[in-house]
Amino acid sequence: MTGLVAAERGVGEFAVVDALPEFVVVAFAAVTHLADPWFLFALLAVGYWFASDRTAGSPRRAGATAIAAVTCAYAATALGKAWFAVARPPGAMPPADVPTWLPALLSGWYEAQVLSDGFGFPSGHATGGAAAYLAVALLYDRFWTDRARYLAAGAVAVAVAASRVIIEVHYLVDVLAGLAVGAGTVAVALWLAGDPRVRRSASAETAAGPTGALNPAPAFLLAAVVSTGSLAVAVAGGHTGEVVEAGIGIATGAGGAVGWRLVEGDEPAVPVRVAVPALAVTGGLWVGAYALAGTLPVTLVATTAAVVAVVALPALPERIGGTSGARN
């Protein structure tokens, strides 16, 4: 713990939260899923695989860069949590105050949302949500209007951040820091990827617009480097949970960079017949990575394989077709 962030860092936000009707708190417990890591990466993978040129000038480059930006955001979160090592609010600790009117089926779900261990600064949900929705709004630049995309992204990111305070698993300062870190990492990731809007270089634009020449590999590598620093801090502090998260960050960044080397960047959307089994395989690898978190080498291998598969998938149909043609 550095002492830069106080363990008791509330500003009276929970007095306001405690005055809210129970149904509002339950509703925000559902909203928080919009920035669960599994949901965000699934959302980004679907966009990366299936987006067309009606949503982005270069949908594969845009989608991979969005994934890289969010990977950077989670790497920064892991480093911050391991570095500051401050606890969550008391409300995140058991027992959970479950509304008596909730059906039994939902009681367990609600309890799982409002109880959370690990460190609290910055908020991973606020960081990931801000990064993901801002990246989508910036990179899928042919979908809706600029104003509509930015307003929608901001509304969802703020709603997720608010949800973390309303269910009392984060202080207000945790989510404000998360929003700032998420937005900042997107800017850095886009700069590394060569986005002309961030570098302010009109000459870098192509006929496909600002996404036409993006290269997400440097952003993926940055995530791996930052995660390596997080791993060192977590090991030095004896923070076991953060060691696992840092390891997953290293594997995700490295896997993304390797996967992108197999992609040209101008591939068409992935056929559903290829995407469905790929989703089952990569999903299984992700589940296995977290289920075997106690065995770090296995987790790293499973995560790396899953990310390589996700990022390289758009190139698979052409490679299979080329192989079949060569055999014939």
Q: Out of 138-152, 200-214, 282-296, give the one with best mean pLDDT.
A: 138-152
pTM of the full structure:
0.94
Give the mean model confidence (pLDDT) for residues 297-317.
Answer: 91
* Residues 174/121, Cβ–Cβ less than 8 Å: yes
> Residue 224: pLDDT above 50?
yes
Across the chain, the runs of DSSP E, i.e. the strands, are: none
- The better pLDDT of the pair 316, 318 is held by 316
| pLDDT at residue number 327 | 46
Give the mean model confidence (pLDDT) for residues 20-45.
Answer: 96
| pLDDT at residue number 158 | 98
The b-or-e profile of 230-268 (16+ CB within 10 A means b, else e) is bbebbeeeebeebbbbbbbbbbbbbbbbbbbeebebebe
Residue spans of the domains in the chain: they are: 13-326
Residue percentage of the chain with pLDDT more than 90 = 78
